Amino acid sequence: MMVAVTHIEVVQGDITQISVDAIVNAANSGLLGGGGVDGAIHRAGGPEILAECRRLRETALPDGLPTGDAVATTAGRLPARWVIHTVGPVYSAGEDRSHLLRSAYTRSLEVADTLGARAVAFPLISSGVYGWPAADAVHQAVTAVRDSGTSVETVTFVAFGADMAGLLQDELR
């Protein structure tokens, strides 16, 4: 029996510039844009992405995308073919929401499998405005991908800064 192995890579930079089949957006439930990586993706990808998000809100997702779930749209003028929007949890010191953070990764990979995407790039979901501590955000991300059983061949984690890239390299060692 063939066992699929997903290669995991780390690059430092801007996820909007990465040439892969699909990039993942750390969106919010409203799907209509926001700050951080979400804003960067909509700015770089152009209005087609927002138009498709609006159509999703008018049809399949009137209440928005639930935390831990994922949905794909066009990538507009980005080098990628698709944007997979997912919603990570807001970090809470009093409640363990790590299952939702892991679900954001695994649901994104399930959507990628449905699309037939072979190379997918992720930002570090929830590690910005949503406040997840960086070291644990990296640990949850890498273990969720490793345990996912996805058919995606290459997952690239895109660290925006050198500190995050270093944490990812440590986690992969």
Q: If you compute the radius of gyration of the chain from its CA atoms, what whole number of angstroms results?
A: 15
Is residue 129 a contact point for ligand ADP (CB under 6 A)? yes
Least Å from the CB of residue 34 to ligand ADP: 7
How many residues are listed for the chain in this entry? 173
Least Å from the CB of residue 3 to ligand ADP: 31
Among 73, 98, 127, 148, binds ligand ADP (CB under 6 A): 127
Q: Which residues pair with 89 in a beta bridge?
A: none
Considering 14, 38, 96, 113, which one is annotated as catalytic? 38
Q: Convert 86-113 into a string of H (helix), E (strand) and C (coil).
A: EECCCCCCCCCCHHHHHHHHHHHHHHHH
Positions in 28-47 near ligand ADP (CB under 6 A): 36-38, 40
- Hey, CA dihedral for 169, 155, 79, 45, is it positive or negative? negative
Among 26, 78, 111, 155, binds ligand ADP (CB under 6 A): 26
Q: Is 38 annotated as catalytic?
A: yes
User: Residue 112: which of 3, 37, 25, 11 has the closest Cα?
Assistant: 25
Is residue 100 a contact point for ligand ADP (CB under 6 A)? no
- Point out which residues bind ligand ADP (CB under 6 A): 14-16, 26, 36-38, 40, 88, 123-130, 158, 160, 164
